[in-house]
Structure 1
């Protein structure tokens, strides 16, 4: 497949008329239906059984999720075949190119819109092509990146495509936003105004346009319209499926390396993290833990009594997460291979035999997850895998990676579907089946899976790490806008390997990447075999102190981060997001140009230093309110840029005034967590006239008890008058153990008026100082309050 060549409108015949849900395209007709799903979400689909006989969409989306409000926008096709999205005021937010809006070229199809000068483009899932996608052309095809691209491009360029294919485009048009999700599993292409001409100039001066389409398969796409990036993103997430509330331990720190093989390595890691008082939840195993790389086996060389050895580590608070590859070694006597053969669930080649690829075990067969029975077969082994004692799984090589073997020979649905139909969906099928197996083994425990490849809707089943990156400053910078665009595209639980997988991380890079990544949704230290060791303590005592501090900060902030994941499950709100998600551009600040700052929820803004040797930078503080600098305690006016100087120990982080930020108590030296024992940090400075409100959710962080009412929800509302904080507490739900909290104030706050129901009390706030990120932060805290 050509990654850098896509279809151009010049080769298409376009619809010229539309009546009775029928488009006239040249001498032929195509059925076209536009459905208004509600809440300004629309679906358009074309049908022609001869032209597009195969519909390979396996995972249904949630078309029925939009019943709250009727649509105010309109998506329609005019009598001349003109496709347009019309705003409530009558303006055309999307306008099909005149006489060239919906087109076909054989089995290929294309939809083209006029591109205005004030349009900017974002999203596109996992791409390393910058935060803004204007002027790009791209293809959505899950790639085995290190096998499919030149290494110099991977290491220092913009290798495209990457491991995950999410054909979604977020369009800013003035002050309005439109999301376009292409509802197609194949190799979708997009062009947002790239230059096609060797001379650099269009020889026919065609009007500016952007377009998307595919080479074959049923043409279909969704359109989501709104007045903010946040509102569009929430509805996209509800459409593809929100992320199920993850177990709390999955939000912690994880340690991995290609080479960790079994009990000896796990025990050494456990001892290292314990010795250095470094909190870490997950200890991960790469392919060496298996018996000759055979999936669903463990090596007798590296494990003795597997269950007992794992339980000993788990008693110390560790979660053991091994790799699972889809490839099954072709070998007589190997039970997994023989079982799959007997069940007939391996992918076929064109000759009707099991397709053979070449992965770590050698010759390899691949389960066909497009078959329900194929997913059931894999789920059975995943259930036994979970019952053996492992806590989670990371799903690798599911692009699918086949070595040097041509993937087009891998056929699906018992050999009746060509490869393009399920290639991009393959990883989702594997994740769905693995999750089913884990739930069958532990029905009341939230599973945690991490995948390398993904497609639309995969966030229902698994988190995503952004694949095999490199230990360099380019990949550090790239990881920020890549993760933000993934969140905008419906995959919020994601993150890169820290401080890079390939190459050798030095001390400066390790410190910078840990500081930048300490609040990413997912955080794992992972390294390639043959690279320098990069456990946090190998970089020397100074680096250990800084890295450990910021990981401890992550653990301290877990109660806050847990609220964000509750909001994601309930409402589809992005967790890590760009500034323009929450704030509108102004004449002085184009927030959609800012690709090296990000928000973690509504309260935290981080502006890391991501250039080698950098100790100062400009920071944009958006909005009209104030932000508290966590390194000084100063409350700074928003709506402007500031110049800041940092140092090795700190990173620029700001808390939004008017926020309540729940944290764990004290300095976190282990992975032990308790959401019912917190500090409530009230971010209201002197002179504040507003209020801060939080519905704080607490449960055991592991089970599904919260779905049965075993959780607490407290509405916390704070205000400030002079040096006095007032906190109102009301219990919205009390199904779990009582909440204990300590109220922490800033900027000379000295006392607390507490109101819990009909009870009133006054508490002193005792001054203390603590280190948020490198600097001593003056604060004052109450004694513990038991609710």
Structure 2
């Protein structure tokens, strides 16, 4: 696979349209089917010779309907025009340049406007905004497929990486359009097609060579979305706002199932943890240092000779007993599961898989052999329902040891030095490219089914390295093997934001970096930046500096412990964001322009070192080495509460903040009510019924929210075992009046307190005077508060 070579646009023949609406090229006539849903989503499907079958397993939720209102799509007279509900053109092609063909390859072309900005594209390590980018979508094993300078320092940043979601967000004239290729084959995109030849000339979209003095006269280029093969299927979504677009896209590809609350805790991992003894030592350290933690992770060394679904008897003489004891302490054991199965007669997993005919074939019809950790290795063919069923049974048997989550790695698929082009699917009938990008999707789908078989009423937590469109229905994603440096700290923000906008809200990087030696300064900055990322897992590589929180001395430990504890204090808020994604498709981590509009003085579209956590929390971390101060943009016509100073700051402007070892720039939006956990600082237990509502109101007015809780563990909430509460706060002079309404009560009544700043003299709760009580839980920041109870 050539990662930096693409089908060249001048080799495409652009189709004409006949009287019946079919597309015609010199290779034949192709059926064009256009359909629309009442959500403002359009589907363009093209079929014919070579493109008869759509190999996608994404399972998109698209229901065509006949709509009379809303956006309109016209595909006629060899041209494409998309109009909004007012008739304004949102997106169009040039005449006779809408759809092109070059053999098995296909491309859609649209006119680019000069002020366009581009986002999404799934997982890209190349920044937040994607103007002028040409990129490919093909899941890679980054450390195996690129040189070290690329994946360590980003010179240049590796592209493509682990996750392929060919979804482009276009920001145009204040409105948002989404374009999704539902094609699992190797796809590509270009956001302004310009090619430099020997750095002397540029080529316009028509292919004409231009001298240097004419380059400035070029049109602003074109937008291309194409595939090297596979049936052309394009979905077009009209926002018009980014939140509306994101909700539509998330519901199209599937929202993220509500995770167990423990998945939103803190997780500790290292390549080198291999035994029950290692895990009990970790548990003891977390207890000793009073750091809450939910997940203790095992890398490949726990297995017997790296054989999947095994424990080394030397390291785990009784795995079920060890895991049971750790579960009782509130620590979940999360082992790695690789797809590669050792090619070994007598190995029971291999023998059962062979009997089920579950493994990928090579072109000769024999089992495809790769080279991974166990040596010569075969690979499950997750394109087959029967293979997924076999794998889910193996997972279920493995999970019966008391395991409730797994780390799904090497599913790009990574086959070591063996070329995976010879790995075929569907009993050898389908070429590798048909399911390469979907391989991790199938593994995650089957693994989730296996955990639910083993524990039918407990939500599993899966964390996967690779993925594709719709993977968020089955698994969270971590952004792969990164490095301990400030380059990776900064770029992890834009990477996770674009993944969040591309249907993968449950994601995050390896905190403090996987490869290389982290430093005290870096790990502090990383925890302060990432303590509210959806996934918070500290993971490091064997033979690097150990990076557990207590390995850097008392001063660093104090900072790291503070932010882990703060995550647990805010876990009910994070949990609400996940509920919002499951129910509505709402984003969790968000760029600033998700909730706020640009102003002339504050363009938000390229700010990639700040982000929002839901609608109420803004983070502006220090992500550059030895940075002593930074500018912070506070967007919107609102006020922001600085938790470091306890002061309100007017929004709609930029301020300068100095670096501080213990504090990070963290702001709460005015008129917010944050649900906080009422737990002791080192406690990792979750009880959603016991909550503290922290009210932020800077002046007379109202704030409101809804709060939902369940048992945080089971699927009972889906049968009504949840409680949902509406809370409203009204501030008049220095009196705060709280009113609540139970919207649904299936998990008992809430036991809540209310926290305010000290300028509040009296609080009434549901018409009765509240009394001051002792606060529970760590403070959010360096300001004085009061806690009240009815």
Query: Shorter-chain-normalised TM-score: which range?
Result: over 0.9
Q: Which residue of 1 aligns with 2:739?
A: 728
CA distance in 1, matches of 2:466, 2:106: 26
Shift in CA distance, 657/326, structure 1 to aligned 2, threshold 3 Å? same
Q: Deviations over 1:344-365 (max 9, x none)?
A: 1110001110000000000000
SS in 1 for 2:640: strand
Q: Which residue of 1 aligns with 2:115?
A: 118
Contact in 2 for aligned 1:769/1:776 (Cα 8 Å)? no
Contact in 1 for aligned 2:569/2:777 (Cα 8 Å)? no
Q: Is residue 272 from structure 1 mapped to residue 320 from structure 2 by the alignment?
A: no
CA distance in 1, matches of 2:13, 2:66: 39
Match runs of 1:521-670 below 5 Å = 521-665=534-678, 667-670=680-683
Q: Is residue 781 from structure 1 mapped to residue 787 from structure 2 by the alignment?
A: yes
Contact in 2 for aligned 1:233/1:572 (Cα 8 Å)? yes
Contact in 2 for aligned 1:665/1:677 (Cα 8 Å)? yes
TM superposition shift of 1:18: 4.4
Contact in 1 for aligned 2:21/2:76 (Cα 8 Å)? no
Pick aligned residue for 1:688 from 677, 681, 700 = 700
The more displaced of 585-594 and 416-425 is 585-594
TM-score (norm 2): 0.96
Shift in CA distance, 651/69, structure 1 to aligned 2, threshold 3 Å? farther
Q: Which residue of 2 aligns with 1:700?
A: 711
SS in 2 for 1:782: strand
Q: Is residue 248 from structure 1 mapped to residue 267 from structure 2 by the alignment?
A: no
The more displaced of 637-646 and 400-409 is 637-646
Q: Is residue 14 from structure 1 mapped to residue 14 from structure 2 by the alignment?
A: yes
SS in 2 for 1:776: coil
Q: Is residue 185 from structure 1 mapped to residue 184 from structure 2 by the alignment?
A: yes
CA distance in 2, matches of 1:438, 1:73: 42
SS in 2 for 1:468: coil
TM superposition shift of 1:781: 1.6
SS in 2 for 1:35: strand
Contact in 1 for aligned 2:35/2:65 (Cα 8 Å)? no
Contact in 2 for aligned 1:251/1:558 (Cα 8 Å)? yes
Q: Which residue of 2 aligns with 1:170?
A: 169
Q: Which residue of 1 aligns with 2:206?
A: none
CA distance in 1, matches of 2:507, 2:684: 20
Match runs of 1:200-211 below 5 Å = 200-202=201-203, 203-204=209-210, 205=218, 208-211=221-224
TM superposition shift of 1:68: 12
TM-score (norm 1): 0.96
CA distance in 2, matches of 1:327, 1:718: 55
Q: Which residue of 2 aligns with 1:740?
A: 751
SS in 2 for 1:127: coil
Unmatched tracts of structure 1, length 5 or more: none
Contact in 1 for aligned 2:37/2:67 (Cα 8 Å)? no
Pick aligned residue for 1:487 from 479, 500, 503 = 500
Contact in 1 for aligned 2:708/2:724 (Cα 8 Å)? yes
Shift in CA distance, 524/782, structure 1 to aligned 2, threshold 3 Å? same
Q: Is residue 74 from structure 1 mapped to residue 68 from structure 2 by the alignment?
A: no
Pick aligned residue for 1:352 from 360, 365, 368 = 365
Pick aligned residue for 1:417 from 430, 434, 440 = 430
Q: Deviations over 1:685-707 (max 9, x none)?
A: 2x232x21111101110001111
Q: Deviations over 1:327-375 (max 9, x none)?
A: 0001111011111111111100011100000000000000001000000
Contact in 1 for aligned 2:494/2:608 (Cα 8 Å)? yes
Q: Which residue of 1 aligns with 2:23?
A: 23
Pick aligned residue for 2:129 from 129, 132, 137 = 132
TM superposition shift of 1:771: 6.7
What root-mean-square deviation, in Å, do the aligned CA atoms of Structure 1 and Structure 2 show? 1.6
Q: Deviations over 1:16-42 (max 9, x none)?
A: 334323123347321101111122111
Q: Which residue of 2 aligns with 1:33?
A: 33
SS in 2 for 1:428: helix
SS in 2 for 1:280: coil
Q: Which residue of 2 aligns with 1:474?
A: 487
Contact in 2 for aligned 1:39/1:71 (Cα 8 Å)? no
Q: Is residue 397 from structure 1 mapped to residue 410 from structure 2 by the alignment?
A: yes
The more displaced of 559-568 and 384-393 is 384-393
TM superposition shift of 1:226: 1.6
TM superposition shift of 1:737: 2.7
Q: Is residue 332 from structure 1 mapped to residue 339 from structure 2 by the alignment?
A: no
CA distance in 2, matches of 1:171, 1:747: 45
The more displaced of 742-751 and 385-394 is 742-751
Q: Deviations over 1:85-118 (max 9, x none)?
A: 1122222211113322211011110001011111
Q: Deviations over 1:495-535 (max 9, x none)?
A: 00010000000100000001100000000000011101000
Q: Is residue 717 from structure 1 mapped to residue 716 from structure 2 by the alignment?
A: no
TM superposition shift of 1:739: 1.0
Q: Deviations over 1:282-328 (max 9, x none)?
A: 00000001010000111001011211111111111100000000000
Q: Deviations over 1:625-648 (max 9, x none)?
A: 111111112111111111112300
Q: Deviations over 1:413-450 (max 9, x none)?
A: 00000000000000010000011111111111111111
Unmatched tracts of structure 2, length 5 or more: 204-208, 211-217
Q: Which residue of 1 aligns with 2:765?
A: 754
Pick aligned residue for 1:367 from 360, 363, 380 = 380
Contact in 2 for aligned 1:694/1:717 (Cα 8 Å)? yes
Q: Deviations over 1:189-219 (max 9, x none)?
A: 0011253122253335465111010011100
Q: Is residue 295 from structure 1 mapped to residue 293 from structure 2 by the alignment?
A: no
